[in-house]
Amino acid sequence: MTESILKVEQVSLAFGGVKALTDVSFDVKKGSVFSIIGPNGAGKTSMLNCISGRYQPNEGNVIFQGNNVTNLDPNDRADLGMGRTFQNLALFGHLSVLDNIMVGRHHLLKNNWLTGPLYWASGAQKEELEHRRIVEEVIDFLEISHIRKAVAGTLSYGLRKRVELARAMALNPKLILLDEPMAGMNLEEKEDMARYILDLNEEFDITVMMIEHDMGVVMDISHEVMVLDFGKKLISGLPDEVMADPHVKRAYLGIEDDLEEAS
């Protein structure tokens, strides 16, 4: 895993006089699981928002698959192969699970409002069947066939998280951004989600960039970890190396002794 799928170059972001990110640079290797950790307010979600296009940084560049996407909107980034889930669920609660996941295929539709009415003659039927076939594969992969017709808003929190992951996978992404995918889950749900993330990384060849507070999960499934603190990058590297760093222990775990000995 040597080729970078994502490069973030000296990105800074401010809201008025408040600096959310300051001169942050890093690479995400193609085919890896890359995790961002840090205390609350460290700028983790702000970074994902800059990468996905919800925010535009005040300075710096976001390079995805060799393309400078800094000024592209989220839809254009999705077209290039970037998927996203959110810390706060963003499902359509009144729609079925199947319909929510089908929304993830919307940007890939070739037929439009002009050709769509010619359902049989324009190829729209064939296109819809192909999209449904792909969606059903995602549903089977995430083991949610039993709820495919259920209304999304009636599901448990853990299942809704899985449906949101399914919708992001339906985008056919090369890079998927996961914002706290295991927040609010019990131990069994976390174990399932960690398995799905590993499998989509290995079986579907999707690069994963993840924000997660569960350090056990981060250590178990990440190839590389980056630490943010007050909007600045502290360190990035192998999980064991990062967690052994005294500055990380101070910022993330509140441990002072090792830092004092190292200084």
Is 87 part of any domain?
no
Decide if 144 is inside a domain: yes
**What is the C-alpha to C-alpha distance for residues 131 and 166, in angstroms, rounded to an integer?**
13
Tens digit of each residue's pLDDT (9 = 90 or more) over 8-46: 999 999 998 899 999 999 999 999 999 999 888 899 999
Residues 168, 181, single domain; the answer is: no
Give yes or no: residues 180 and 255 share one domain. yes
Output the pLDDT for position 113: 41
User: What is the per-residue pLDDT across 106-154, written as a single tens digit (0 to 9) for each?
Assistant: 655 554 444 445 444 445 556 677 778 888 999 999 999 999 899 999 9
Please report the pLDDT score of residue 211 as a whole number. Answer: 95
Same domain, 246 and 145: no
Choose the final residue of a domain: 172, 190, 212: 172
Q: Is residue 72 part of a domain?
A: yes
Banded model confidence at residue 257, pLDDT cuts 50, 70, 90:
low
Q: 180 and 150 in one domain?
A: no
- Please give the residue that has the higher pLDDT: either 133 or 72: 72
Model pTM score = 0.85
Here the tokens at position 166 are 């399914």
Domain that holds residue 154: 92-172
Long-range contacts of residues 246-252, Cβ cutoff 8 Å, at least 24 apart: 251/38, 251/39, 251/227, 252/37, 252/38, 252/39, 252/227
Task: Indicate if 127 and 257 belong to the same structural domain.
Answer: no
Same domain, 4 and 44: yes
Q: Are 121 and 192 part of one and the same domain?
A: no
pLDDT at 217 over 80: yes
CATH code, domain carrying 53? 3.40.50.300
Strands 207-211 and 33-37: parallel
The pLDDT of residue 92 is 81
* Contact between 176 and 111 (Cβ < 8 Å): no
Average pLDDT of every residue of the chain: 86
Q: What is the pLDDT of residue 259?
A: 43
